[in-house]
Structure 1
Amino acid sequence: MYKVIGLTGGIASGKTTVSDYLKEHGYTVLDADAYSRKTTAKGGPAIPAIIEAFGEDIVDADGELDRKKLGSIIFNDAGKRRELNAIVHPLIRDMMNADEAEFIKKGHVFLDIPLLFENGLNERCDLVVTVFVDRDTQIRRLTARNDLTIEEAEARINSQMPLTEKVERSEYRLDNNGSVEKLYEQIDKFTEELESL
């Protein structure tokens, strides 16, 4: 029987590295962020409601969403973040559910969802894997990757459930504080167990 596996973590914890490795090894990974980008792309189904909620200047002259501007709003205002999530999340869920129903017939399906626990989507998974790092590593990676100040990085991290809580609530944990090779070893061990379930 094939499983639906929730894959989550915190921002800059290394979830994408895990996703990419799983895909390279033939697993289906449905990435909530990719679906989110589809819904918020130029002409995407979420754009009219986002303009209505955040104003005309949230998109540029070409109709592209100003993601940096939107990010600076939602990561500093929980109410605005909830408003955006209420627009985008149902669209993402519909797309993911359709693809999941198709791919589960052929093999295990990983749902790569940063806000898996926050949105209660862990309930529809057979098991959950959390990729984690310590907070200092998270801040260091996020400031380097996204060219953010420490304060901006902390605002983004604080907008999510603490990684320690996600780890506690997960069936499997992948420690990404070390080398990428060590991370790959843990993924290999997990997938071996998965195939023997």
Structure 2
Amino acid sequence: MLNVGLTGGIGAGKSEVVRLLARRGAVIIDSDRIAREVVAPGTEGLAAVAAEFGPGILTEDGALDRQRLASVVFADPDRLKALNGIVHPLVRRRSAELQAAAPTDAVVVHDVPLLVENGLGRHFDVVVVVDAPDEVRMERLTRVRGMTEEDARARMAAQATREQRLAAADFTVDNSGTLEELDVRVEKLWERLCARAAGR
């Protein structure tokens, strides 16, 4: 089994790379999806978040109000740290369960948005960074996701710099071009990951 940590700044197109790797046979462990699961209604995670941030971050039906929570934590690094202190251990535990269930010869790709920020590279055999210039990411966030420029800049500023991510990478996937170009680059990456897995 080869454990791959895959990351990239917001707007870099990491999700598209994950989709292309899954199509080629990678086992995907999606940290964002798990992070949503561990704070679903009725979970210990949601109870802990509500205890930390107050009942105001819950919707009327008792679910997490993500927009309200985001407005709190992205404006205050200490509050973001508090949230991560609750959610990240729960995500790690669930990720380990999913990894243990994967075939022994699998290429397991862990989709981890904040891999660099949280110093998680050491937990993986290989770190892959999906990269695009900041101006390309900004254009995607404002045009495709509909964010304001101010919101996009705040989200980008809350993450590691492009240089920090690239310094952590064993492999880099350039996603500044077309989807066709990306598919070719992911195919080359997949071949390298499979070769690395076969050599373990």
Q: What TM-score, normalized to structure 2?
A: 0.93
- Aligned residues: CA RMSD: 1.2
- The answer for the alignment partner of 1:19 in structure 2 is 18
- The answer for the alignment partner of 2:72 in structure 1 is 73
TM superposition shift of 1:170: 0.5
What are the Cα deviations for residues 62-120 of structure 1, in whole angstroms up to 9, with x where unaligned? 01111111111111110000000001000000000111122152411111101112222
- The answer for the alignment partner of 2:6 in structure 1 is 7
Distance in 2 of aligned mates of 1:58 and 1:196? 46
Q: Would the alpha carbon gap of residues 58 and 13 (structure 1) be closer, same or farther in structure 2, given more than 3 Å must change? A: same
TM superposition shift of 1:146: 3.5
The answer as to 2:49 corresponding to 1:50 is: yes
Distance in 2 of aligned mates of 1:124 and 1:51? 29
Distance in 1 of aligned mates of 2:146 and 2:50? 26
- Alignment size in residue pairs: 196
| Conservation of the 8 A alpha-carbon contact between 1:4 and 1:104 | no
3-state secondary structure, aligned to 2:44: coil
Distance in 1 of aligned mates of 2:4 and 2:25? 15
- The answer for the alignment partner of 2:90 in structure 1 is 91
Distance in 1 of aligned mates of 2:101 and 2:19? 21
Aligned sequence identity (%): 35
Q: Would the alpha carbon gap of residues 177 and 160 (structure 1) be closer, same or farther in structure 2, given more than 3 Å must change? A: same
Q: Would the alpha carbon gap of residues 52 and 146 (structure 1) be closer, same or farther in structure 2, given more than 3 Å must change? A: farther
Flag structure 1 segments of 5+ consecutive residues without an equivalent. Answer: none
3-state secondary structure, aligned to 1:35: helix
TM superposition shift of 1:21: 1.0
| Conservation of the 8 A alpha-carbon contact between 1:4 and 1:109 | yes
Distance in 2 of aligned mates of 1:7 and 1:14? 11
| Conservation of the 8 A alpha-carbon contact between 1:9 and 1:114 | yes
The answer as to 2:113 corresponding to 1:107 is: no
3-state secondary structure, aligned to 1:146: coil
- The answer for the alignment partner of 1:40 in structure 2 is 39
| Conservation of the 8 A alpha-carbon contact between 1:74 and 1:81 | yes
- The answer for the alignment partner of 1:153 in structure 2 is 152
Q: What TM-score, normalized to structure 1?
A: 0.95
Distance in 2 of aligned mates of 1:195 and 1:87? 35
TM superposition shift of 1:44: 2.7
What are the Cα deviations for residues 149-176 of structure 1, in whole angstroms up to 9, with x where unaligned? 1111111111111122211221110111
Distance in 2 of aligned mates of 1:52 and 1:195? 44
What are the Cα deviations for residues 11-70 of structure 1, in whole angstroms up to 9, with x where unaligned? 111010011111112110101001001012222331111111111110111011111111
Amino acid at match of 1:190: L
Distance in 1 of aligned mates of 2:146 and 2:99? 34
Distance in 2 of aligned mates of 1:40 and 1:116? 20
| Conservation of the 8 A alpha-carbon contact between 1:28 and 1:109 | yes
| Conservation of the 8 A alpha-carbon contact between 2:99 and 2:108 | yes
Distance in 2 of aligned mates of 1:144 and 1:67? 22
- The answer for the alignment partner of 1:63 in structure 2 is 62
What are the Cα deviations for residues 120-143 of structure 1, in whole angstroms up to 9, with x where unaligned? 221011111100111111111112
Amino acid at match of 1:188: E
Distance in 2 of aligned mates of 1:104 and 1:94? 18
The answer as to 2:119 corresponding to 1:120 is: yes
